[in-house]
Amino acid sequence: MPVQVIDNKAEEKRDPVKLILLGDSAVGKSKLVERFLMQRYVPIQMSTYALTLFHYDFVKENGEEVDVDVWDTAGQERFATMHPAYYHQAHCCILVFDVTRKATYKNLEKWMAELRSFREHIPCIVACNKIDTDPDVVTKSFAFAEKHKMPLMYVSAADGTNVVALFENAIDTAVAYRKNPEKDDLMTQVLDILKEKKPSSSSSHAGGSANAGHAADAGDKADGGEAKQVEGS
């Protein structure tokens, strides 16, 4: 958890890890990012390649500073492929599907294949979104995650369940991957990280309120952070 969120850190002082989200249109990618950042950042959706970049810089309890860039698409996924700039130097990918639409789950294979063609070893976390629509879904397992040895998290961008936990795991994973990119057994490490944290559904709601605190904090600082337009390379 961050003890302090840093606003407007100078670009030259930043050394961000990069998180990306992939998945079909309307699975809730933007809503997840929005929920995590809790109105702190106002997304600006315009650029050559229709990508939006959010800065999120914070200080951890141990004093370590972590700078994060969260990249979101602005609808480019409708065309079933993303501009290579999206994948460039990404450190962790959240693969999102909509539990109410089976096709979005099936298409994870397609997104994985595209991702791997750009970032062969990037660690991924699978997010089963919209669990608010059917609470029983958390008892289901999803073969895709097992097959690819990826952690699976049940989330709801609508009510906030597990959203903070999802991004915190993604950030931890990204930081670990950047430190040790060629380590083959990274996914094992990721699974270990998740096991240590293991958010229950009640603690996930605690995560939601922690996020609310974060939003209040954002209000104090008042300038709303920044969302950057991305110029493709």
Ligand X SMILES: Nc1nc2c(ncn2[C@@H]2O[C@H](COP(=O)(O)OP(=O)(O)O)[C@@H](O)[C@H]2O)c(=O)[nH]1
Output the CA torsion sign for 97, 73, 179, 218: negative
> Which of 2-10, 134-142, 150-158, 195-203 is the region at the interface with ligand X (rule: CB under 6 A)?
150-158
Contact flag: residue 50 with ligand X (CB under 6 A): no
Residues 155-174 that bind ligand X (CB under 6 A): 156-158
> Which of 23-31, 46-54, 106-114, 198-206 is the region at the interface with ligand X (rule: CB under 6 A)?
23-31
Contact flag: residue 27 with ligand X (CB under 6 A): yes
Q: How far is the CB of 29 from ligand X (least distance, A)?
A: 3
Q: Is 131 helix (H, G, I), strand (E, B) or coil?
A: helix
Comparing CB distances to ligand X, the nearer of 90 and 157 is 157
Contact flag: residue 133 with ligand X (CB under 6 A): yes
DSSP 116-129: HHH-TT--EEEEEE
Comparing CB distances to ligand X, the nearer of 156 and 204 is 156
Using CB under 6 A, which of 30, 52, 169, 211 touches ligand X? 30
Output the CA torsion sign for 177, 163, 145, 69: negative
Cα distance between residue 159 and residue 130, in whole Å: 9
**CA distance readout (Å), 30 to 26, 41, 53:** 9, 12, 11
Q: Is 185 helix (H, G, I), strand (E, B) or coil?
A: coil
> 124-129 and 17-22 as β-strands: parallel, antiparallel, unpaired?
unpaired
Comparing CB distances to ligand X, the nearer of 127 and 176 is 127
Give which of ligand X, Mg ion, none residue 130 binds (C-beta under 5 to 8 Å, depending on kind). Answer: ligand X
Residue 58 near residue 7, CB atoms below 8 Å: no
DSSP 16-58: -EEEEEE-STTSSHHHHHHHHHTTSS-----STT-EEEEEEEE
Residues 3-62 that bind Mg ion (CB under 5 A): 29-30
Collect all residues with Cβ–Cβ distance below 8 Å to 125 and sequence separation of at least 6: 92, 93, 94, 95, 150, 151, 152, 153, 166, 169, 170, 173, 190
Contact flag: residue 52 with ligand X (CB under 6 A): no
Contact flag: residue 129 with ligand X (CB under 6 A): yes
Comparing CB distances to ligand X, the nearer of 162 and 173 is 162
Contact flag: residue 104 with Mg ion (CB under 5 A): no
Contact flag: residue 126 with ligand X (CB under 6 A): no
Contact flag: residue 39 with ligand X (CB under 6 A): no
- Amino acid identity for residue 154 in this structure: Y
> Which of 45-53, 63-71, 152-160, 205-213 is the region at the interface with ligand X (rule: CB under 6 A)?
152-160
Residues lying near ligand X in the complex (CB under 6 A) are found at: 25-31, 129-130, 132-133, 156-158
